[in-house]
Amino acid sequence: MPWRMRNRIMNSSWGSHTAIARLLGAPEPSLEPQAELWMGAHPKAPSMVRVQGVWVSLVDLIVENSESILGTDAARVFGNRLPFLFKVLAAEKPLSIQAHPNSPKAKEGFERENNLGIPLDSPRRSFQDDSPKPELLCALSPFWALCGFRKIPDILKLGNRLVSRSLKNELRDLKRQPDPSGLKAFFKAIMALEDSIRKNAIDEALASAAPEIDSDPVAKWITTLAREFPFDIGMLSPIFLNLFRLNPGEGIFLSAGILHAYLKGVGVELMANSDNVVRGGLTRKHVDLNGLMDILKFDEHAATIIRPIPAGSCEMRFDTPTEAFSLSQITVSPEREFLSQDRKSIEILLCVEGSGAITTQTETRRMSFQQGDSFLIPANFSGYRIKGDATLYKAFVPER
- Residues 2 and 361: their CA atoms lie apart, in Å, by 13
> Which positions are catalytic?
279
Q: What b/e readout covers 171-195, taking b as 16+ CB neighbours within 10 angstroms?
A: beebbeebeeebbbebbbebbebee
Q: How far is CA 127 from CA 35, 284, 307, 330, in A?
A: 20, 17, 31, 34
250 C-beta neighbours (distance < 10 Å), count: 19
Q: pLDDT > 70: what percent of the chain?
A: 99
**Domain 3-146+246-295: which CATH number of 2.60.120.10, 3.40.50.1860, 2.70.70.10, 3.30.70.3270:** 2.60.120.10
Do 91 and 285 form a contact (C-beta atoms < 8 A)? Answer: no
10 Å CB burial of residue 10 (0-12, 13-18, 19+) is middle
Q: Is 188 strand, coil or helix?
A: helix
Q: Which amino acid is at 175?
A: K
391 C-beta neighbours (distance < 10 Å), count: 18
CA atoms within 13 A on the CB side of 323: 6
- Residues 261 and 252: their CA atoms lie apart, in Å, by 12
Asked if the domains at 3-146+246-295 and 313-396 fall in one CATH topology, the answer is yes
Report how far apart the first and last C-alpha atoms of the chain are (Å, whole number): 26
Which helix (H) or strand (E) segment is 350 a member of?
strand 347-360
Give me the mean pLDDT over the 79-88 stretch: 95
Write down the pLDDT at residue 230: 94
pTM for this prediction? 0.94
Nearest to 240 by CA among 264, 254, 261: 261
pLDDT tops 70 at residue 71: yes
pLDDT tops 80 at residue 400: no
Give me the mean pLDDT over the 10-28 stretch: 97
Write down the pLDDT at residue 176: 98
pLDDT tops 70 at residue 62: yes
The contacts of residue 108 (CB under 8 Å, 6+ apart) are none
- Residues 160 and 167: their CA atoms lie apart, in Å, by 9
Do 264 and 144 form a contact (C-beta atoms < 8 A)? Answer: yes
10 Å CB burial of residue 296 (0-12, 13-18, 19+) is buried
Domain ranges for the chain, please list them: 3-146+246-295, 151-234, 313-396
Query: Tens digits of per-residue pLDDT, 109-150?
Result: 999 999 999 998 898 999 988 888 999 999 999 999 999 999
Query: Tens digits of per-residue pLDDT, 189-240?
Result: 999 999 999 999 999 999 999 999 999 999 999 999 999 999 999 999 999 9
Give me the mean pLDDT over the 237-263 stretch: 96
Q: Which CATH code is given to the segment(s) 313-396?
A: 2.60.120.10
Angle ∠(114,259,297) on CA atoms, nearest 5: 85
Which helix (H) or strand (E) segment is 220 a member of?
helix 217-228
- Residues 382 and 343: their CA atoms lie apart, in Å, by 7
Which helix (H) or strand (E) segment is 348 a member of?
strand 347-360
The contacts of residue 187 (CB under 8 Å, 6+ apart) are 149, 240, 293, 296, 298
E strand intervals along 217-318 = 241-246, 251-254, 260-272, 278-281, 309-310, 315-318
